Structure 1
Amino acid sequence: MMAGERLSVAGGVIAFLAGFTGVYFSGTLLFPNLTPITNILQLPVSELLGSYGTTLIDIVFLQLSLILLNSAYGGFWHMLGLLSGAGVLLLSYPLTAGKWVKGVIIGLIGLGALELFSGISGSANILAVGGGLAVIGGLLGVGVWRATRYEKPEVEAARVEVPAEKVVAEKAEKKVKGAAKIVPTGVPRAQLEISQVEGIGPVYASRLEKAEIKTLSQLANSSVDKVASAAKVNKKEAEKWIRIANLLLLDILDEEAAEIMVVGAEVTSLKDLAERKPDELYEQMQAALKMGKVAIPKDYSFTKQDVEKWVNAAKRK
């Protein structure tokens, strides 16, 4: 178990206790019983019959209902507390946590703040403690979620592995990087390693290989969910890798061109590339470079004839 996962589990346990304590004690203290019904039942039967217009059968059913309610009341808040705590524990684990976990944690913080305020203003010490624990547990949950960073933004994920490669040209808006990746010759494209895809460095490659995604062909034919889960990146980044891998199966296409097509022109596959108009695709790719959407080597360039050649090759694939 990695350090981030240990932190997440530890934080989840504490958040579980906080959620349970906050919900259970707050519920039983805020709503200890049905006071109006209790007051009615404390009156003499004759007064009930005379003043409230009820029959003896009504009073019997009312008494039975109250007994059942009181016996189940503590159990209700107990179960609600367990469910709340278990939910926080589950959502604290990085492999199941998504962006929506923040909403749940914020709700826990809000509940705790309300309980804390009610406890202090009403001099209910246990309620104040429960609310305080819920707030602390919620804040800890936020910290745990941020620390694990299960879903990293695309830019942030790229910075993890290739910070030294990306630089900004002084005289233009285009982003530039170091030397282009050299595609090995004599090896079928389908069997090339996944590290040929821009953004997949040693860390991500190692994670994907553990999921039996080792070659361009395997990556191109994998689902977005599987790649995102294995590499621990967001689905947008995983989808980009899959599309680039699909285009790189075309022998005459280089990694830079594939990335520009995917990011700048939203080309999704070789089939999609075959249906594009070369002139329009060329303009879209150039516009993406001018806007800095893709980083390329300083000496990298392509022409309309190159784009036309790529499109025609995709049609024959």
Structure 2
Amino acid sequence: MTRKLTELTVVGDDKTGLIARVTSLLFDHGINIEDLDQAVRKGIFRMTMHVDAAEMTTTKDDLREKLHALGDELGVDVKVRFPADRETKQIAVLATKESHCVEALLQAWASGDLGADISVIIANHAALKPLADYYDIPFYDIGDEKGTPDEDAILSLLNDYDADLIVLARYIRILSPNVVFRYEGRIINVHPSLLPSFPGAAAYRQAIEEGVRVAGVTAHYVTTDLDQGPIITQRAFSVPDDAEVEDLQRKGQPLEADALLEAVQLHLNDDVTVHWGRTNLRDGAEGYQLGLPEAADAANPDRPIDGLANILADD
């Protein structure tokens, strides 16, 4: 069930007491804070809050006015999004050349299963434009002849399309802290390894070189630390003795799409929260396959476990 939480974002110059002033205003109006994420980078403060305003003791317009007035006083930008303000959230997809994750997202959107609109595809190559055109989605190639992206163009497009969520659908570039910091907690990436193993480029090749027997994929929130953001979903598969990189790609790509799509749906449904760098399911969240499928998990042995020596000693 989608939770009707209100989102607040605060961005601006760092000042002492910012958090206290905002949270005190919310408390005074009967608003409960569900989760809060804040950080400071190079003197710029960012805070994202999800709050339960269902029983607040004021009106939406009055709360907006007071928060905007507080923002003006403190010299920060405050945005408030009540659930009714955006019945359908807007997703911006970032991609490069690989189509499988983009295709999975577009199919889920076209079938009505995504629960959000894909408003734009932003890529650093033109390869996926035919796919975007087929689904009638605006497409922007912001890469130069080497595929180097124009991040000012990315930020401008994200603002123009008012993106609620940014999905990196095999976007083979590292987003700079300038982008990540502004949208942290609202960027989901899929990586072709069981993180924290094999971060960075060429993860499938690393898996083969290290001789792993089980490889996999991970969908995670993006932070300014490369491939170290909170893990949302993972999928695993066996690595044959004679596997080549292409073999792992064939096994992994459908799982990349599956893990990414589930992570997106978890986020859109407000069924996942992050605390101290770890994701947790909210109470009542059901029907997700965060890791191994139940059948695979059930096939694992459940004995022996520690404790037999203690039992014998008691006898």
TM-score (norm 1): 0.26
The structure with more helix, counted as a fraction of residues? 1
Instruction: Indicate the structure whose relative CO is greater, using CA pairs within 8 Å and at least 6 residues apart.
Output: 1
Larger radius of gyration: 1
